[in-house]
Structure 1
Amino acid sequence: MIITTIPYWHKFLSPFFNRFKVESYTIWKIRKGLNLEKENPNKREEKNRKRGFISPFPSDFEKVEERGREPWLSKSNLEKKLLLSLENSSSLFSLPFQSPAPALLAFSGGIDSSALFHWLNLHKFPFDIALVNYKTRRESDKEMERALQLGKMYGKRVYVTFCKLPKFSENGARRCRYRFFYRLMEEYKYQTLILAHQLNDRLEWFLMELGKGAGVVEMVAMEEWEKRERFWIWRPFAFWSRREILEYLHHYKIPYSVDTTNQDLNFHRNFIRHTFADKFLSLYEKGVKKSFHYLERDKSELLPEIKEIGKVYFFPIGTPWKNLRGVDRIAKRLGVIMSASQRREILRQGFKGVISGKVAVDHNAKLIFVAPFVKISLGKIREKCRQLGIPPKIRGYVVKENLCDMLSTAISTAVWKSGRS
């Protein structure tokens, strides 16, 4: 068996990249079919402890009850719970697309992503992993080494980037992280990005948006499936609480690391988590799960029914607020997050305009259209587009991609749930 050697020169190069603030990434590809030695579990746990990865499996049942946690799940109960979770979430059995290509898991080595790594392997779902090293904690390099070990053990590709921010912020870290993930999705043609967001994360976001002032569409985020321009985002743990995930980790004795910065209340999200969200969820977990199911249904009613041909999206004209929701959602798919001022401007223009120089919005008598903005000379085909009911702002992209006839057919044959055609 040939194993690609894992280089250790990244330890010397990372300060160089950090100094000049140059984002870079290195790929470690570990070939499949490894013949690994069986390791003594006690020795493995001791190694993990020394490296900062803990597997806090309680030594006896009584200590669990003393800490006030719910009774430990027996193996049979845990398997029933896993099966019930799969029945409630049809993800593994009805993917929104058919693809033999593996997915990409955003991995950190923490509670959620460690459990998700094991869960995906348990169900034999093909995936590779990507990790961002912010170099902000001593544990950062240990977590990176852990990811490399898992890649070697399970025959996964491991992608790592070093992201050193001048001043660490949640938004800056998020932008760096997703820029890296999206680049990998584009370059290596992955069709699914798997994220480890769970119920606690969703409640925290809900409360943060509630505090800022937002509607249901903004507050109900991190749904199980989310469409982007070239790929899907999948969150298998969208309805799992952190308590359930910890039980899963403890049951299978899965090591994980703890990010100490999650205790820093100077970060707004941590403040919301420790002051409100965790306490509330510990009391009303079942009710919160039900509420998010109901809110997702309500959210779907507030959004227009969107159809697409290529990258041309269209939906029936509704109320201004519903129209704006549709444009905002499509712009996000096309890689543009609309600001509050851009939303106001597109409303003021009557849904005719260009967002960030990238996304065109226009409408005819019945439908609103959103597509990538392309500026080209149309010539004689301009009149054909007008006769087919294709509005001016999106004609450049339609003509460039030769979609005139296909789009015209799709518009004339579209059947909407509202009964409009």
Structure 2
Amino acid sequence: MVWTPLHAKIHRTIRSRHLFERNQRLLIAVSGGQDSLCLIKLLLDLKSKWGWDLGIAHCDHRWRSDSQANANHVENLAETWGISFYLETANEPINSEAAARDWRYQALSAIAQANNYQYIVTGHTASDRAETLLYNLIRGTGADGLQALTWQRPLTTGIMLVRPLLEVTRIQTEQFCQEFKLPIWEDSTNQDLQYARNRIRQELIPYLRENFNPQVESALAQTAELLQAEVEYLEKAAQQLREKALGIGDEEDSLIPLLPLRLNRRVLQKAPLALQRRVMRQVLQQILTDAASFEHIEKLTALITAPNRSQTDPFPGGAIAQVEGDWIYLK
């Protein structure tokens, strides 16, 4: 086996970030593109050091005429490498990026649960992280959206989603695939500029690279990394403040009904605005079916210092918030 600097980098990353344990079963999501082929090749080469049991999963969204040929290509690779292959095909074509992502994670989770895999591993890179940060920034977001992709997160009970390539750019994965002559399957939809992410990838990132910073993808990925730690800290601090404002402890949190709720304004008034907003967002997450908007959060936060008897207009679903003395009531 040829041991490259990228092998060493990923080996160190997995160990230092505790992404996987030894002798675990890893399900690798492989589209056939350069990032996923780079990922599976690296993990295959590291397998002997870690004792992993690897499997490949491929999700066919049926939104390209060559999608079945693409699936066959990945299955042939799995057979060549002598590892288990799992295919999930959509019942009907999925044409939305968001719907495709949701369906893909559901499909991967079902495969992992049925076959006793503890981890689902994807080939998201620093380039993906940079693009996601820009995409969310353009649409309007806070630090949570800017932190973009995280190294790992629970996907469902007992299954962790892991992204080991978040410090590797797409240029590096392409060079790696060329070095090892890996047969990349070119996805024609990646060139389709009707998708906002493709315009960011094909037009905005190259422009920023040429005119502002040749290392813009790595720089943006580092920003996302810094924000991830800060968001994690702020979320914990906001949770503690929320529990204090609600007058509950950790062990009681799951027993509190969704509505009515009451928040102590005196407790919240002592906190910085950033924590006040996060508390209100956490509260709204309990009562709204969709994510709380900036306007929803600001409307509720304003009640912390509003005159007595102030109230909001209804939130989606019909809940309203009212000020009664030292308390904000959500009914």
Q: Distance in 2 between matches of 1:233 and 1:203?
A: 19
Instruction: Confirm or deny: 8 A CA contact 1:112 1:197 kept in the other structure.
Output: yes
Alpha-carbon offset, residue 112 of structure 1: 0.8
Q: Give the CA deviation at 1:156.
A: 2.1
> Within 2, Cα distance between the matches of 1:98 and 1:86?
12
Aligned-pair distance for 1:138? 3.6
Any idea what the Cα deviations from partners look like across 1:228-260, whole Å, max 9, x if unmatched?
342211101111110011111111111111101
Equivalences for 1:7-406 in 2 at 5 Å?
79-87=4-12, 89=13, 91-92=14-15, 95=18, 98=21, 100-124=23-47, 125-165=52-92, 168-230=95-157, 231-281=159-209, 283-285=214-216, 286-304=218-236, 319-323=275-279, 338-340=290-292, 344=296
C-alpha spacing 1:219/1:337, structure 2 compared with 1 (3 Å): farther
Gaps of 5+ in 1: 1-74, 351-421
Deviation, 1:105, is 1.1
Cα-Cα RMSD: 3.8
Using a 3 Å threshold, how does the CA distance of structure 1 residues 313 and 206 change in structure 2: closer, same or farther?
farther
SS of the residue 1:123 aligns to: helix
Q: Classify the secondary structure of the residue corresponding to 2:215.
A: helix
Shift of 1:290: 3.5
**Number of residues of Structure 1 aligned to a counterpart in Structure 2:** 268
Residue 97 of structure 1, CA deviation: 6.7
By how many angstroms is 1:145 displaced? 1.3
Distance 2:93 2:103 in 1: 12
Report the AA paired with residue 145 of structure 1. Answer: N
Distance 1:247 1:169 in 2: 30
* TM-score between the two structures when normalised by the length of structure 2: 0.68
When residues 300 and 328 of structure 1 are mapped into structure 2, their CA distance, relative to the original with a 3 A threshold, is farther
8 Å Cα contact 2:190-2:198 kept in structure 1: yes
CA distance in 1, matches of 2:295, 2:109: 25
**Per-residue CA distance 1:203-232 (angstroms, 9 max, x = gap):** 111111111110111121211122334221
SS for the counterpart of 1:228 is strand
Say which SS state the counterpart of residue 88 (structure 2) adopts.
Answer: strand
Q: SS at 1:243's partner residue?
A: helix
Distance (whole Å) between structure 1 residues aligned to residue 107 and residue 295 of structure 2: 27
Higher helix share: 2
Contact kept, 8 Å, 1:304 with 1:323, in 2: the verdict is no
- 1:200·1:277 contact (CA, 8 Å) conserved in 2? no
The 2-side partners of 1:166 and 1:153 are apart by 29
| TM-score for the superposition, normalised by structure 1 | 0.54
Aligned-pair CA distance for 1:328: 8.8
Q: Which amino acid aligns with 1:321?
A: R
Q: Structure 1 residues 187 and 337 mapped into 2: Cα distance closer, same or farther (>3 Å)?
A: farther
Over residues 99-148 of structure 1, what are the superposed CA-to-partner deviations in whole Å (9 max), with x where a residue is unaligned?
74411111111111111110110100432111111233343222211222
Kindly indicate whether the alpha-carbon contact (under 8 Å) linking 2:61 and 2:93 is maintained by their aligned counterparts in 1. no
Give the superposition deviation at 1:198. 0.7
- How far has the Cα of 1:272 moved from its partner? 1.9
Q: Do the aligned partners of 1:200 and 1:281 also contact (CA within 8 Å) in 2?
A: no
Q: Distance in 1 between matches of 2:277 and 2:168?
A: 32
Q: Is the 8 A contact 2:26 2:121 kept in 1?
A: yes
Alpha-carbon shift at residue 313 of structure 1 (Å): 11
**Which letter maps to 1:128?**
G
5+ residue gaps in structure 2? 241-249, 257-267, 304-331
Note the 1:404-415 alignment, pairs <5 A.
none
Find the structure with the greater CA-based Rg. 1
Q: Is the 8 A contact 2:126 2:165 kept in 1?
A: yes
Identical residues among aligned pairs (%): 22
Q: Deviations over 1:169-206 (max 9, x none)?
A: 21221222122112223333322110111111111111
Q: CA deviation at 1:98?
A: 4.5
Amino acid at match of 2:236: P
Q: Which residue of 2 aligns with 1:10?
A: none
